[in-house]
Amino acid sequence: MSDTKEAMAPKGKIAYATTETAPVVQGRRAFFTYRDLGVAEASGGMMKAQVHQTRKGLGEQTGWHYHTCDGQFIYILKGWVDLEFETGEKLHLEEGHSCYIPGGVVHNETDMSQDYEVLEIHLPADRMGTVPCEPRK
């Protein structure tokens, strides 16, 4: 019985945030406002969850890049975004769509709506570097 209890012991704490309580924090890109949902602290650094909202749309492509994380998950809350991957695959993601991008996958955000808002979760919390690069062919 004690083995089961130990296996089910919580490995973090509950995080709760609202639009009003989630603080605006510094982020990777100047064209986004970032709201932190408190998951990094609650999960002991296992993952980070933020809501990104465009300030005025993309303006220009992000350029080819990859992220130095284990993985990135996005869920579109509002608007749309166009993504292109080095494989040639292109995705148009709209409200209610989601996408998982493994760390190291080269991609480019080519366009987004003026009202784009996205939930982004990445693993681990402290490793989400953006590395500009050329697509590998």
CA distances from 76 to 49, 56, 120, 133 (A): 13, 16, 9, 25
% of the chain with per-residue pLDDT over 70: 92
pLDDT of residue 136: 80
- Could you read off the pLDDT of 22-51 as tens digits, one per residue? 999 998 888 889 999 999 999 999 999 999
The mean pLDDT of the chain is 92
**Domains, the chain, with CATH or none:** 9-132 (2.60.120.10)
Q: Which has the closest alpha carbon to 31: 116, 92, 91, 121? A: 116
- Answer yes or no: are the C-beta atoms of 60 and 29 closer than 8 Å: no
Q: What is the pLDDT of residue 2?
A: 55
Q: Per-residue pLDDT for 87 more than 90?
A: yes
pLDDT at residue 6 greater than cutoff 70: no
**Backbone dihedral region for residue 76 (phi beyond 0: left; psi -120 to 50: alpha; all else: beta):** beta
Contacts of 2 (CB under 8 A, 6+ apart): none
Pairwise CA distance, residues 87 & 96, whole Å: 24
Q: What is the mean pLDDT of residues 93-108?
A: 98
